[in-house]
Each structure stands twice: as C-alpha cells, then as structure tokens.
Amino acid sequence: MEDKAFLSGYVSIIGSPNVGKSTLLNSLIGQKISIVSRKAQTTRNTIIGILTRRHYQIIFLDTPGIHTPKNKLQQYMVDSAYEANRDVDLTLFMLDARIGLGERDEDIMKRLDMERTLFIINKTDLINEDELRDIKDALIEKGVRSKNIIPISALMGAGVAGLEDRIVTYLSEGPMYYPDDMITDKTERFIAGEIIREKALLNLNQEIPHGIGVEIERMEEGEGLVEIDALIICEKDSHKGIIIGKKGTMLKKIASESRYDLERLFGTKVFLSVFVKVKKDWRNSPSMLKELGYRKES
Ligand SMILES: Nc1nc2c(ncn2[C@@H]2O[C@H](COP(=O)(O)OP(=O)(O)OP(=O)(O)O)[C@@H](O)[C@H]2O)c(=O)[nH]1
Ligand SMILES: [Mg+2]
C-alpha cells in the first residue's frame, strides 16, 4: 500500500478584538502559547502555533484583533493582522456569537477571499439556537455559503476537533515546515514577557493595561532555576503608582501570578523580579516600539 502524502498549510485566525482568536489557537494546539484576557486588544503580535499530526502540519497565525488604530502601536497591530492574512491557504474569520456581524466585520469581509475562508461563530455556549440561526442567516445574506459557517465554543472545546478536520481539507501536499516537536516560533523570552503582560491585563483596569509594555531585561538559567528581571513600562506616573499599589501589593500580585505560570512553562523554579518604569507616550515612539518588538527591523 502506498503511503499517504504529507499535507501542510498556513491558516490565519482573524477578527475583531476579544472574539476568542487566541483561545482557539490554544485549544487547537492543546497548550497555552498565546495569552488571553477578557479585555480587547490582548494580542499585539502575530503568534504562530504549529500543529503536527502523522499526516499533516498546520501552521496557525493568531493575529491582533482588527480595530480602528489610535496610536502607532495599534497601527502596528492592525497591519500585522492583515499582513498575516496574505498568502495563507485558509482564513478563519471569527465572530463573537453575542455580537454577531458588526459593521467593522463587514469591512474586513470585503478583504477576504470567500473561497478560502471559514466563518467561525465562537462562544456559542453563551447563546441559544434561535440566536445562532440569526447570525447564520445574516452571514448567508452577505453571500457566505452555509457549509462554510462553523459554530464552536473555543473555551469549552466544542466543535474544535470538527473544525480541525475541515481545515485539513484545505491543506495541500507539502513539506513539514517546522520540526514535529515545535509548537510556536516565539522564544521563551517573548512568552515570559507576554505572561507578565497577561497578569497585568487581568489585574489592572481601564486604560492602564493597554499602555503597558513588558521588557525582559535578563533571563538566565541557573542550577534548577531560571532568573528573570522584567520591566513593566507604563505611560504616566499616576499609572506607575497604581501598578505598584498600596505597599506594593498590586505589583506583588502580578509578579506572583506570573511566577506561577512561568514555573509551569519552564518546569523549574523561577526567581522573578519586576520593576516599573514610566516612558511617556511610548506607544507612539518608534524606538520604544522597536525595542519591545512591535516594529519590524528596518
Ligand atoms: N464563554 C466563552 N468565552 C470565550 C470563548 N472563547 C473565548 N472566550 C473568552 O473571551 C475573552 C477573549 O478571548 P481571547 O482569546 O483573548 O480573544 P482574542 O480574539 O484573542 O482577543 P484580542 O487578542 O484582544 O484580539 C476571554 O475572556 C476568553 O476566555 C468561548 O467559546 N466561550
Ligand atoms: Mg488574542
């Protein structure tokens, strides 16, 4: 009997902020590689997740939510999302079932190749059958074929295995682009910074977390431990005070939650020290954006 050909391909996950793109990536890969929070604009860079099975490899691109940019950081985020969608074999265009098809979604749809797009209605655990039918109808009215509409709950894992099977039908004969034990292109250093940013997002309110950047200043492996010095960058002195909190309680909380996740990530003890520094308007500073990895080397 002849061996089955190996299939591979690139699949982007795009959509408005907060619809659950990173949750889906983590669910497909089976490990947390992209940070998640209930706040919009959590993901800032395109994160690659690699899924390798016996007969195929899928390279997923989790992208920042598409929104109207108000500063250079946000412009970078939106550009990254559209760029990731170029030359892919398939686009997963994701909607939040509670919101349905928003105005911005219609603009995004105009830029998609309908033949190579699956429409993913996520968070179906939060709606009923009638509401789901209404969203499907709205999509069909826009010219989407009903077989290309896939309801899932990324958080609960419902429909995710079926989605993977559908994705495989869009792959073509090709190489294994990455080694089979590699699940992301991001370095441990990058993921460490993201984990700290996630804990800041979870613990801080209003505009503060959106103005935060995390720089890993030092990361060294010692005997049975990893030492990490991190810097949280924020935009205002008043923000710095809030991030540190009364008697340092907020910063301690962010650091200890981060350490917990980092120890699981590295499978070893972690010594983490986190400092806070103000850099006014860093989200519009080309040199700071570059330093934090939000701008291409030029
Ligand atoms: N109930 C429910 N919540 C979900 C589901 N998928 C994601 N969420 C929640 O939705 C919020 C946003 O999830 P993310 O995965 O960060 O969303 P995103 O699209 O990557 O967001 P950005 O990176 O900001 O564009 C988080 O609080 C998730 O736990 C789902 O299927 N059901
Ligand atoms: Mg995300």
CATH code for the domain in which residue 203 is found: 3.30.300.20
Please tell me the total count of domains within the chain: 2
pLDDT of residue 102: 87
Domain end call among 173, 198, 224 = 173
State the DSSP code for 97: T
**Is residue 163 one of the residues assigned to a domain?**
yes
**Is residue 32 one of the residues assigned to a domain?**
yes
pLDDT of residue 167: 98
Nearest to 293 by CA among 233, 213, 220, 228: 213
- Mutational pocket test of ligand 1: of 36, 38, 99, 124, the residue with most ligand atoms within 8 Å of the beta carbon: 36
| Atom from ligand 1 closest to the CA of residue 94 | 19
Whether residues 16 and 131 fall in one domain: yes
- CA dist 214 and 212 (Å) reads 7
How far, in Å, is the centroid of ligand 2 from the Cα of 67?
A: 13
| Atom from ligand 1 closest to the CA of residue 26 | 15
Residue of the CA atom closest to atom 11 of ligand 1? 38
The whole-model pTM stands at: 0.95
Question: Would you say residue 194 has pLDDT above 70?
Answer: yes
**Is residue 121 one of the residues assigned to a domain?**
yes
The residue type of 213 is: G
| Atom from ligand 1 closest to the CA of residue 40 | 24
- Please check whether residue 68 is in contact with residue 79, taking contact to mean a CB–CB distance below 8 angstroms: no
**Is residue 283 one of the residues assigned to a domain?**
yes
Whether residues 162 and 192 fall in one domain: no
**Is residue 91 one of the residues assigned to a domain?**
yes
**Is residue 181 one of the residues assigned to a domain?**
no
All residues at 6 or more sequence positions from 182 whose CB lies less than 8 Å from its CB, including other chains: 50, 52
- CATH number, position 164: 3.40.50.300
Determine the structural domain holding residue 213 and report its residue range. Answer: 188-291
Whether residues 31 and 159 fall in one domain: yes
pLDDT of residue 2: 58
**Is residue 182 one of the residues assigned to a domain?**
no
* Ligand 1 contacts CB of residue 176 (under 6 A): no
Q: How confident is the model at residue 1 (pLDDT cuts 50, 70, 90)?
A: low
CB-based neighbours (< 5 A) of ligand 2, an ion: 21-22, 42-43
